A and B are shown apart, each in its own frame.
Chain A
Amino acid sequence: MNESLPPFQFYWELDGWIILAGILCAASASLLGSFLVLRRMSMLGDAISHAVLPGLAAAFLLTGSRQSSLMFIGAIVVGVLTSWLTQWTKQIGKVDEGAAIGVVFTGLFALGLVMIVRSADSVDLDPGCVLYGSIELTPLDRYRFGSWEIPRAVLTMAFVLAVNVVFVVTCYRQLKITSFDPALADSLGISSKVMHYLLAALVAMTAVASFESVGNILVVAMLIVPPAAAALLTERLSRMLVVSVVMGIVATIAGHFGAITVPRIWGYSSVSTAGGMTIAAGALLILTILFAPKTGLLSSVGKKWLWGVRVNGEDILALLYRQEERGEAGATAESLSKQLLLPRRNLWFYRWLLGIRNYVRVEKSDWKLTEKGRMAAQDLVRSHRLWENYFASEVGLTNEQLHPPAERLEHFTGSQIRKQLFEHGPSQEVDPHGKPIPPERDKPS
Chain B
Amino acid sequence: MSWNELLLQVFRVITLQDYNTRMVMLGTGLLGAASGVIGVFLLLRKRALLGDAISHATLPGVCIAFLIGVASGGSGKSMPLLLSGAAITGLLGGLAILGLRQFRRIKEDAALGIVLSIFFGLGILLLTLIQQIPEGHAAGLEGFIYGKTASMVAEDAVLIASVTGCVLLVALLLYRPMQLLCFDEGYAASQGWPVFWLDGLLMSLVVAITIVGLQAVGLIMIIALLVVPAAASRFWTHQLPKMLPLSAALATFSCLVGATISAIAPRVPSGAAIVLIAVATFLVSLFFGNVRGIYWSWRRHWRLRQSYDREHLLRDMYELVELEREQDKSGKMGPTDVSISIEVIERHRQWSHGHMMRALYRLQFQGLMLFHDEGRARFTASGFKEAARLTYDHRLWELYLMKYADVDPLRVDRSADDTEHALDPEIMESLKVMLDKEWNGKVPPSPHPLESVSSEGGKR
Residues of A within 8 A of B (CB): 1-2, 37, 40-43, 45-46, 50, 89, 92-103, 106-107, 109-111, 113-114, 117-118, 121, 217, 220-221, 223-225, 227-228, 231-232, 259, 263, 268-269, 271-272, 274-279, 281-282, 285, 289, 295
Contacts and interface: CB of A to CB of B under 8 A. Distances in A.
A271 B49 contact: no
A220 B43 CA distance: 23
A98 B228 CA distance: 11
Contacts of A295: 103-105
B286 interface: yes
Contacts of B78: none
Contacts of B123: 275
A259 B132 CA distance: 14
B227 A43 contact: no
Interface stretch (B267-275, B344-352, B407-415): B267-275
B228 A106 contact: yes
B170 to A, nearest CB: 23
A43 B276 contact: no
B110 A228 contact: yes
A139 B116 CA distance: 28
A93 B134 CA distance: 53
Interface in B238-292: 267-269, 271-276, 278-279, 282, 286, 292
B11 to A, nearest CB: 24
B128 A113 contact: no
B107 A37 contact: yes
Nearest to A41: B109
A114 B125 contact: no
Interface in B66-117: 103-110, 112-114, 116-117
Contacts of A263: 129
Given A272-B127, A279-B118, A99 B48 contact: yes
A40 B224 contact: no
Contacts of A118: 267-268
Contacts, number: 199
Nearest to B124: A275
Contacts of A275: 121-126, 128
Given A96-B46, A110-B276, A274 B110 contact: no
A289 to B, nearest CB: 7
B388 to A, nearest CB: 41
Nearest to B294: A92
A224 B43 CA distance: 22
Nearest to A285: B114
Given A103-B228, A110-B272, A268-B132, A225 B114 contact: yes
A40 B228 contact: no
Where chain B touches its partner, the secondary structure class is: helix
A289 B133 CA distance: 35
Task: Please name the 8 residue pairs, one residue from A and one from B, whose CB atoms are nearest each other, closest first.
Answer: A278-B121, A275-B125, A102-B227, A110-B275, A106-B224, A221-B117, A107-B279, A224-B113
A1 B269 contact: no
Interface residues of B, number: 60
Nearest to A277: B121
B151 to A, nearest CB: 16
Nearest to A38: B107
Interface of B: 43, 46-49, 52, 56, 103-110, 112-114, 116-118, 120-129, 132-134, 220-221, 223-224, 226-228, 230-231, 234-235, 267-269, 271-276, 278-279, 282, 286, 292, 294
A224 B132 contact: no
A285 to B, nearest CB: 7
Contacts of B114: 224-225, 228, 282, 285
B300 to A, nearest CB: 15
Given A99-B43, A103-B231, A279-B121, 17 more contacts: A1-B134, A37-B107, A42-B109, A42-B110, A43-B112, A46-B52, A95-B234, A106-B228, A107-B224, A107-B282, A114-B269, A118-B267, A220-B120, A225-B118, A259-B125, A275-B124, A278-B125
11 contacts: A92-B286, A96-B48, A96-B231, A103-B279, A107-B228, A111-B276, A113-B272, A114-B268, A272-B124, A274-B124, A279-B118
Contacts of A46: 52, 56, 113, 116-117
B264 to A, nearest CB: 14
A46 B109 CA distance: 11
Q: Which of A93, A109, A117, A228 has the most chain B CB within a 10 Å cutoff?
A: A93
